[in-house]
């Protein structure tokens, strides 16, 4: 994913500026997956995607 940030989007990943929070979030996601809470992670991601799309359409 880091390569895409540089090559396609022309920016740097937020994890470079906040490495502690990045690693903490990675471990949190791994923990939830190991506990069988993948569905919750999927729901959270879908909610975030819907909000992003909605905010983008309101700004236009």
Sign of dihedral through CA atoms 47, 49, 55, 57? negative
The pTM for the full model equals 0.50
Q: What was the pLDDT predicted at 20?
A: 92
Predicted local confidence at residue 4, as pLDDT: 77
Give me the pLDDT at residue 56, please.
Answer: 65
pLDDT of residue 27: 92
pLDDT tens, position by position, 4-60 = 777 887 888 777 888 899 899 889 989 988 998 888 888 888 998 888 877 666 655
Cα–Cα dist 40/8, whole Å: 30
């Amino acid at each position: 994913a880091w390569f895409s940030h540089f090559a396609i989007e022309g920016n740097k990943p937020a994890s470079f500026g906040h490495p502690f929070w990045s690693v903490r979030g990675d471990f949190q996601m791994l923990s939830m997956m190991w506990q069988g809470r993948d569905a919750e992670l999927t729901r959270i991601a879908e909610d975030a995607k819907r909000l992003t799309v909605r905010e983008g359409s309101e700004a236009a």
